[in-house]
Amino acid sequence: MRTHSRRTLFGAGIAVAGSGLLSACATGKTGSGMDGMNGMYGTAPSTGPDGRTPSGYVSPDGPEVAEAERRRGSGPVRRFSLTATETRLDLGGRTVHTWAFGDELPGREMRVTAGDRIALTLKNRLPRPTTLHWHGLTVRNDMDGVPGVTQRSVRPGASFDYLFAVTTPGTHWVHPHSGLQLDRGLYAPLIVDDPREPLSYDKEWIVLLDDWVDGVDGSTPESVLKELHGGVDRGPMAHGETEMAHDDAKGGGGAHARQGRAAPADGPSRLLKGARSKMLGHDAGDVDHPYHLVNGRISRDPRTFRARPGDRIRIRFINAGSETAYRVALGDHPMTVTHTDGFPVEHAETDALLIGMAERYDVLVTAGDGVFPLTVLAEGKGRSALGLLRTGSGEAPGPSVRPRNLYGRILTADRLRAAESVRSVARRPDRTIEMTLTGTMEKYDWAINGSPYTPSQRYPVEAGERVRIIFRNHTRMWHPMHLHGHTFDLPDGGPRKDTTILLPGRRVDVDFHADNPGLWMVHCHNIYHSESGMMTIIGYRKK
């Protein structure tokens, strides 16, 4: 059984008060499947009593959404309050001015049990509008946190109340869905406990990984995006509410790695040249984040996790980064993978993990005696982060330590199989949607099916369908593709996930059950790619 000695090393920031995707089959529907809807959605769509939804589509606050929520049940309400604010954070010897939830990085853990309902008040004390997205949770559509699609942005000084049922356990997290706010400090872990937890362990750690640029020598995420676009401020990639959504993306810099680009006026260049990884298919990334963090700390002053020799420890890894895949290993400790993206898998032993942006992995380790490095390598980028496991005496390893198992067996999601308890029954898809990823690093014109995102895009589905999305990557860059409001099955009995890595030149087919009506985003979780246009919407048709 789990013990109550497990704890994570987070501080205040959340006040908690528990209250007491091939060609289509002959019978299916296929094609790119996108409805233009121009002139029907408008330039500032919203939801609610006075909102507008494209003709023929389920509204995010419509009766179909309410009925789906009713079927999820009505369990105990767990209440939280979360304040997004400007603050100064100590990253471990380096202080930065940034945005965060309270004065902590990451924001404090939120924890509920499957069957509960979450009631959270988001208070916006930022200078820009914001929202909150519940990454990995199958929430009701009007609680999904996408401005201009599922809700209006929360304006500065305002607040918004989220309320929804939580049905499945797992390791999840929360973050804004407004502009480049994710590449600041606005994220926190959300753990949904299983009331019938099958795993036995003594302690639990939640480990959030992050790449950091905000507030370092004048850099901001907006200046990085402007630099990626060759010094041209293309404006925000708004989700539809042009005066509110994504309007924190104002731009700022220049370049050093791209020929013909000027150096940024408000800080050093953050473009990365020559970042290569065989595991990622070639180009590892384009942004040179100066720091990489484990639970908000840089490697010269790492977090220390304490346990006893022989303790069985559950580690929940969350990649909260914006542009970096991480290779993770705990020195001299093999890891047994038990879950990915919150869902159980057939247990698999490995020496290291490759974790893309927004992916989560749960592992079990048995603690040795001594001091061991949790090394987090920014894959292909040359930098790293560090955490420490201390179970006894000994000198802590230095910040540049590279344990040998970092180069041993490296596990990726395509090597996993779903546990029998969550494996879907094989079924031919009723509908096939093709999504080809396009764009180049030189032009930074990322898109889906050659069309950068506009809020009028719509790929229609109908409730009850088995839907296949065919992702084809026609770019030279890897992309972590994420689907809101659902989980999908990877091919050939692979794991259930909400985010999957798509390598250059590759194709991945994912299948999901259309059982959560509304309007749902599909996008690359490289925040600079999605903000440049690599996102779209799947919409449920009214019956």
pLDDT digits (tens, 9 = 90+) for 174-211: 999 999 999 999 999 999 999 999 999 999 999 999 99
Note whether 118 and 495 are within 8 A (CB): no
Structurally, at CATH architecture level, domain 14-20+43-197 sits in Sandwich (2.60)
Nearest to 88 by CA among 184, 182, 158: 184
At residue 241, the pLDDT reads 36
Q: Report the percent of the chain where pLDDT is more than 90.
A: 80
* CATH code assigned to 423-540: 2.60.40.420
**In which band, very low, low, confident or very high, does the pLDDT at 218 lie, cut at 50, 70 and 90?**
very high
Per-residue pLDDT tens for 501-511?
999 999 999 99
Dist CA 239 CA 236 (whole Å): 9
Nearest to 377 by CA among 387, 389, 367, 364: 387
Name the least confident of 50-54, 99-103, 121-125.
50-54
* Residue intervals in the chain for CATH 2.60.40.420: 14-20+43-197, 423-540
Q: Which class for 172: exposed (0-12), middle (13-18), buried (19 or more C-beta within 10 A)?
A: buried
Note whether 247 and 181 are within 8 A (CB): no
Dist CA 108 CA 80 (whole Å): 11
**In which band, very low, low, confident or very high, does the pLDDT at 456 lie, cut at 50, 70 and 90?**
confident
Q: Which two tokens stand for residue 212?
A: 């950091």
At residue 427, the pLDDT reads 87
The Cα-based distances of 265 to 89, 228, 254, 256, 291 in angstroms read 24, 14, 7, 12, 21
* Whole-number average pLDDT of the chain: 87
- pTM here is 0.88
